[in-house]
Amino acid sequence: MQPVATQLSGVTAHTKANVYFDGNVVSHTLLMPDGGRKTLGLIRPGSYHFKTDAAELMEIVDGSCRVTVDGPAAAAAHGAGSRFEVPAKSGFRIEVDKGLCQYICSFLG
């Protein structure tokens, strides 16, 4: 498994933030040179549910969280350097107990 990126080069960043859950989850959209799209963001302590349109790869840059992908899956702990996938047309609950959880989300479809 490749390490989580610490730098993304050659990207175009949208300056207006994506703000969810009263500002507890904030991200910025990045357009990659190959046409791909990512978001780079942070999550404050709490429990939040997101729905997906496209499949997603979530990479945890810093902090920790627990994630439950919609369906019969059990919650799984994720710390810095870990990653998980969420299928298209699905969703997931992400819970942060303390501090900030920073992430990169890559849209796979």
Band of residue 80 on the pLDDT scale cut at 50, 70, 90: very high
pLDDT of residue 8: 85
pLDDT value of position 109: 73
pLDDT of 42-65, one tens digit each? 999 999 999 999 999 999 999 999
**How confident is the model at residue 9, as a pLDDT?**
87
Other residues' Cβ atoms within 10 Å of the Cβ of residue 39: 19
From first CA to last CA, the distance across the chain in angstroms is 21
- CB within 8 Å of 53: residues ≥ 6 apart: 88, 89
Please tell me the distance from the alpha carbon of residue 64 to that of residue 84, in angstroms, as a whole number. Answer: 13
Sheet with 91-96: list strands edge to edge. 46-51, 91-96, 64-69, 76-79
CATH number for the region 12-107 comes to 2.60.120.10
pTM of the model: 0.92
Do 20 and 49 meet the contact criterion of CB atoms below 8 Å apart?
no
The 10 Å Cβ neighbour count of residue 107 is: 17
Mean pLDDT of 67-77: 92
Cα separation, 64 vs 102, whole angstroms: 8
